[in-house]
């Protein structure tokens, strides 16, 4: 995942880390920025407190803005983010497509998204079993591709990487009106 994220990163980017947790991705990205910043978004007070401590220990508080919030309604302005990253998030949500819609909304035209999560398969099903009942569970690569494409992303790439998939896509610069998304499913 880091290779794709760092490949999409520019020194001045505003990056949104959706479901940042304790910040392993936020901190790695922030260290590569010169004038940009990472908005680290998570629902958990505990995770965000740990992230704030880690950012202070690594002298990265000037590059990381910690926010508590919902990944389906970030409160960020339309077209305000250069890069959205997400790791191990979509499988935990009841409606993963709502997060992908929010990613599209907050991204600037030409902005990129990089998503990593557990893929649908034997291990993914076991992981899904241990999550709350409302969780969707791991998605298949075809489903992720279809969701990104139907919401209007371009340059969609989804690859299986052992137990996970990694997806990247770009928001069109202008002119695309996405179709209304359907419920995410795992049809072959």
Q: What is the mean pLDDT of the chain?
A: 83
Rounded to whole angstroms, the Cα distance separating 58 from 160 reads 33
**pLDDT band at 188, cuts 50/70/90?**
very low
**Average pLDDT rounded to a whole number, residues 28-56:** 94
The pTM for the full model equals 0.84
The pLDDT value given to residue 131: 54
Check whether 35 has a pLDDT greater than 50.
yes
* CA dist 104 → 46, 63, 109 (Å): 28, 23, 9
**Which CATH fold would you assign to the domain 2-170?**
Rossmann fold (3.40.50)
The share of the chain scoring above pLDDT 70, in percent, equals: 80
Confidence of residue 122 (pLDDT cuts 50, 70, 90): low
The Cα 165–Cα 147 span in angstroms is 14
Least confident segment among 50-59, 61-70, 179-188: 179-188
pLDDT band at 133 (very low <50, low <70, confident <90, very high): low
CA atoms of 76 and 79, how far apart (whole Å)? 9
29 contacts 9 by C-beta, under 8 angstroms: yes
pLDDT (tens digit per residue) in 156-184: 999 987 777 889 999 999 765 554 444 44
Cα distance between residue 92 and residue 44, in whole Å: 14
| pLDDT per position as a tens digit, 76-112 | 999 999 999 998 887 677 688 889 999 999 999 999 9
H-state helical runs in the chain: 2-8, 24-32, 45-57, 96-106, 122-129, 141-150
* 111 and 81 Cβ atoms separated by less than 8 Å: yes
Nearest of 70, 51, 56, 5 to residue 32 by alpha carbon: 5
Has residue 3 got a pLDDT over 80?
A: no
| More confident position, 24 or 136 | 24
pLDDT at residue 65 in the model: 96
């Amino acid at each position: 995942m880091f290779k794709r994220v760092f490949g999409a990163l520019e020194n001045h980017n505003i990056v949104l880390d959706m479901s940042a947790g304790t910040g392993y991705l936020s901190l790695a990205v922030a260290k590569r920025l010169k004038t940009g910043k990472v908005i680290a978004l998570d629902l958990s007070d505990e995770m965000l407190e740990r992230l704030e401590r880690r950012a202070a220990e690594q002298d990265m508080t000037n590059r990381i803005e910690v926010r508590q919030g919902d990944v389906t309604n970030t409160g960020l302005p339309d077209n305000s983010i250069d890069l959205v990253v997400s790791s191990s998030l979509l499988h935990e949500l009841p409606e993963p497509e709502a997060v992908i819609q929010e990613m599209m909304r907050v991204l600037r035209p030409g902005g990129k998204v990089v998503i990593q999560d557990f893929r649908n398969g034997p291990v993914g099903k076991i992981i899904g079993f241990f999550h709350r009942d409302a969780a969707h569970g791991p998605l298949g690569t075809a489903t992720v591709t279809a969701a990104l494409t139907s919401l209007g992303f371009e340059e969609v790439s989804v690859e299986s990487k052992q137990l996970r998939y990694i997806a990247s896509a770009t928001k069109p610069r202008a002119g695309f009106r996405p179709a209304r998304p359907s419920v995410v499913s795992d049809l072959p």
